[in-house]
Chains A and B, each alone.
Chain A
Amino acid sequence: MGLLTEGHPLSWEETKKYAQYVREHGVEQFINTYKELKDRRNDSLQWGDEVEFMIIRFDHEKKKVHLLLKAHEILPILMEPENQNPDDCTTLWRPEYADYMIEGTPGKPYGYLPVHFNMVEANMRLRRQQGQELLDKDEYVLSTSNFPRNGCPDCSWPTYKPTTDTSASASLFFPDEFIFADHPRFKILTRNIRLRRNSKVAFNIPIFIDTNTPRPFIEDFSIYGDTAGVNTTAAIKDHIYLDAIGLGTGCSCLQVTFQAQSIDEARFLYDQLIPLTPIMLAMSAASPIWRGYLTEIDCRWNVLCAMSDDRTTEEEGSEPLKNERFRIPKSRYSSVDCYISPDSAKYNDQEVVQDMNVFHKLIENDIDHLLAQHIAHLFIRDPLILFEEQLHLDDTKDTDLFENINSTNWQSMRFKPPPADSDIGWRVEFRPTELQMTDFENAALVTFIVLLTRAILTYNLNLLIPISNVDENMKFAQQRDALRHQKFHFRKSLATEQTPDAPFLTSIQKNKSQEPEYDKTECEHCLMTINEIINGSNKFVGLLNIIQNYLSNIDLDADTQDTINQYLDLISRRAAGTLMTNATWMRHFVANHPVYKHDSVVTDEIAYDLLWKMTKITNDEEECPEVVRKKPSKTTLDVTAAVEQDNNELEIKQSLINNNQ
């Protein structure tokens, strides 16, 4: 959702003029935050998920499904409880890029009690219900990564035709009316990205070649209007051409943010989760269909990278550097470029483009090299949107300008310093996961990540591999059916030296580094399938086994145990390939549809049937045993009274004892 500042936005020219100003003050704000809060300790575990729902409308007579441009109508109603009573909501709502998107989060973060894992699904379901209540007949809330026929003619309700000469995006496919208009941010972003790079965004997705797909595949753009020819110079054969920011930012994500106990722990967890970003991307793959065609990709990530890319040709490298400051290899929406903990330095094996003025400023202020590098890298970017009110702030108190840059670097992980004036600590955001069609799956993925962080911290694990290998994995992860067919670089042994002493156990386990033949240059990582990574093999422990070990030491109540077991079972089976990803299931659905001509085209009717089926699955009216196998869930919104009582009792007793001592 990003920073939803109120106020008066500046024009692009003015925004550009203030770029250096924003950077300087942003860095100043970060330095102040760092100095003030770097010693903050013992923040408890708090975490939350973000779900970007889509609203759609079915026309059962015409067998068509539309993106419903109604977010602007229902969001004010959804946000009313927060306006009335901001500290006491079960859910919170925000707008997102498109007028067919509504973003929901839990009202209060989940906490550290095991029973909190049993609340996630119930809260997600509640959010869905709250949205659904405000819709009319044939209108539904859906959770999926990408609307398959987004950008096709008449894919919205009401319908609009893109107007390439006057729109903010100049897209052939994505009308301006799709953009959420009640907050200026999204249109301004659209316009400014295009103005900065001085061209439309463009991306080409390889089409899935089926038995009847025309070879070569060259799309006929004439249906999109007279100016179509001029606009499609960036299209290439055998590919699906996308030309609008909204075709990327109008996709939905599943994100998890959690609070660490200190800045060091936040940096540690940020790093440890980086190798997991491609793994979770592959596990959650849910976007095989783009602009009505089956493609060779199963994920939205690279599309978003390209559609949010504000780099000029000089920065990209297709023209020599004259006016720009840096050659920049990646879009501002991309996988992370470096680890940020001091111990991780040796794994940063790629050059990181940095603003050296920023870097030196941070070093002068006693910020260490790795963190300084990270910030200096984020700050190579220009602000994309600026409000007048942000220009005259108190750098010792406000963080808006820092957030301006931090929140418009859309990376696979985000390191989030405490906001001004709050009791919130250092946080980490995990961002790559694709949104699944059921609350059960989304809760399972989110729970898995959080449990993994607890296990990593308990056992002092190290998952790091060179960042270049992580980037390679990100490429592998997005390919068609990557989960079952690809291998990924993954660390072979997750043990570290910093585990608590346990003499009897180190004796049982041969300590390899003491053997004379131990080769220090032996590679720490190797290629593994998702199945091996998650479920283990005779050579690798498997992430699920680590989590199970952790859970066996925690007091779990019966309901939470049952819920977590079901979630981990889903993860296990999906990794093993016995359950399908959403993407694979969608491909099967299309392939087996009576109307499908095996020409890679997902027609209106096929899309209608697919989304109707998904809607029924989501609402528990139909099963989808190929993807999800579960019993009725024990998830609940309430933390049971017994647990609260237990904790209260302990607090009282502990303070009693402390008073006596």
Chain B
Amino acid sequence: MSTNLLDVDQAIFEPLLSPLFPKATEILFYTGNTLALPKLMKKTNKSITEEIIEYISTVLQTMRIEMNEKQFQNETYVKFLPISDETSITNNYNGTSSDTEQLTREDLKFSVKIFLRSLDPELLSHTIDTVLNQLKENYLESVMISLPNLGVQIKLDDFLPLWRIIEDYIDKQKILSAGVCDFMLPLLSDLYDSCNHKPYANQINLGVCCSIPEELNKYVKEHNIQLLTHSDPIDIINETDFQEVIRKYCHEYDSINWKPLSIVRYNSVIKNRGIIKTKGFFIYAKRELRMN
């Protein structure tokens, strides 16, 4: 996609006669920098799920309106990317704000939260690589891994392969610090004891566990793990919702079988001033196609 997104509120679409991406088995939505005022200033906070569904809707609607429907006919990996100017903002740190800002990479802190919907270590690698490539960054300061089940249900042996991937990126200095989400004891301590690069933080949802268990509090303080908070839902987006939003704007065959596998939320903050510079999402899904 290489065009500005249009005002799509009133668009009504004719049913399509044939699918738009019949060969696609992988799909990626990358929002670019979403820090935008007009929407923010009109509505109250949306959940991350709503934000993502809304973004995907708009992207697909715009594609329909512009009738760029041929472009993905032969693609196996369909990528909806922001316009090229967009990505330059994340690299041109002077950005659109005042000319007096002279930011360097060191002034920024990139934080990434990866919501995984599968325990496949290769998925994690692919996701991290995609983020690094699209953001055009050599390293990320903080990466948090989140799994759809609450930490209490996953077993260490299932999680360790994922953490090994992370450690690999840390060794290569592509990730500087990494953490986990919704881990309780004993999973957190088991992980801590089994790994080389210790998690620097554990993110918990205060809405779900209203008060922090005393022993968890004690453990994190003793082991220098930051206890951070989040208010993300357990599952960011499921198959049904993802397929439905595609079905709404595309051909029915375009929507079948998609399984969202990883969702990433990232932001960059001007470290020593507490100002958010960029924010965005990646949504990656896969499917198997039955050949006709």
Residue numbers in B under 8 Å from A509 (CB-CB) = 36, 38-39, 42
Does A495 contact B41, Cβ atoms closer than 8 Å? yes
Q: Are A458 and B275 in contact (CB under 8 A)?
A: yes
Given known A494-B41, A646-B177, A653-B176, contact A500–B274 (CB-CB < 8 A): no
Complex contacts, B200 vs chain A, CB 8 Å: 642, 646, 649
Interface residue ranges of B91-108 to A (CB < 8 Å): 95-98, 100-103, 106-107
Q: Please indicate the chain A residues that have their CB under 8 angstroms from the CB of B9 in the complex.
A: 508, 510
- CB-CB under 8 A from B6, the residues of chain A are 507
User: How many angstroms from the CA of A41 to the CA of B97 in the assembled complex?
Assistant: 14
Q: Interface on A for B, CB 8 Å cutoff?
A: 41-42, 44-45, 111-112, 114, 261-262, 264-265, 268, 454, 457-461, 493-496, 498-511, 536, 541-542, 545-546, 548-550, 552-559, 561-562, 640-643, 645-646, 649-650, 653-654, 656-658, 660-661
Interface pair A459/B4, CB less than 8 Å apart? no
Contacting A500 at CB < 8 Å: which of B41, B62, B95? Answer: B95
Cβ-closest chain B residue relative to A560: B229
Instruction: Kindly state the interface size class of chain B when it binds its partner.
Output: 35 or more
The distance in angstroms between the C-alpha atoms of A562 and B217, with both chains bound, is 14
Residues of B within 8 A of A494 (CB): 37, 41
**Residue in A261, A503, A507, A561 whose CB lies within 8 Å of B206:** A561
B278 touches A650 (CB 8 A): no
A654–B96 CB distance below 8 A:
no
In the complex, what's the smallest C-beta–C-beta distance from B65 to chain A, in angstroms? 10
Q: How long is the Cα–Cα vector from A542 to B269 in the complex, in angstroms? A: 23
Q: B residues within 8 A CB of A541?
A: 40-44
Task: From B44, B85, B272, give the contact of A501 (CB < 8 A).
Answer: B85
Q: Which 6 A-B pairs have the closest CB atoms?
A: A502-B36, A509-B38, A44-B272, A505-B36, A507-B5, A495-B37
Question: Is B151 close to A, CB under 8 A?
Answer: no
Whether B44 lies near A536 (C-beta < 8 A) is yes
A552 engages B231 (CB within 8 Å): yes
B142 within 8 A of A: yes
Please tell me which one of the listed residues A500, A549, A650 contacts residue B89 in the complex, with CB atoms under 8 A apart.
A500
B226 in the interface, Cβ–Cβ < 8 Å? yes
Q: Does B124 contact A (CB under 8 A)?
A: no
B153 CB-CB contact with A under 8 Å: no
By a CB distance below 8 angstroms, the chain A residues around B4 are 503, 507
Tell me the nearest residue of chain A to B65, going by C-beta. Answer: A507
Quote the shortest CB–CB distance from A589 to chain B (angstroms): 34
Excluding A507-B6, A507-B58, A558-B206, 20 further A-B contacts by CB distance (< 8 Å) are A45-B273, A454-B274, A458-B276, A499-B96, A500-B278, A502-B34, A502-B36, A505-B36, A506-B5, A506-B36, A507-B4, A507-B8, A549-B45, A557-B227, A558-B204, A640-B221, A642-B224, A646-B226, A650-B141, A658-B106
Query: Shortest distance in angstroms between B40's beta carbon and chain A's nearest beta carbon?
Result: 6
Is the CB–CB distance between B273 and A504 below 8 Å? no
Instruction: Give Cα A114–Cα B228 distance, bound, in whole angstroms.
Output: 11
Q: Which of B58, B100, B201, B269 contacts A504 (CB 8 A)?
A: B58
Chain B residue at smallest Cβ distance from A494: B41
Which residues of chain A have C-beta atoms less than 8 A from B33's C-beta? 500-502
Contacts A262-B100, A504-B31; is A112 near B36 (CB within 8 Å)?
no
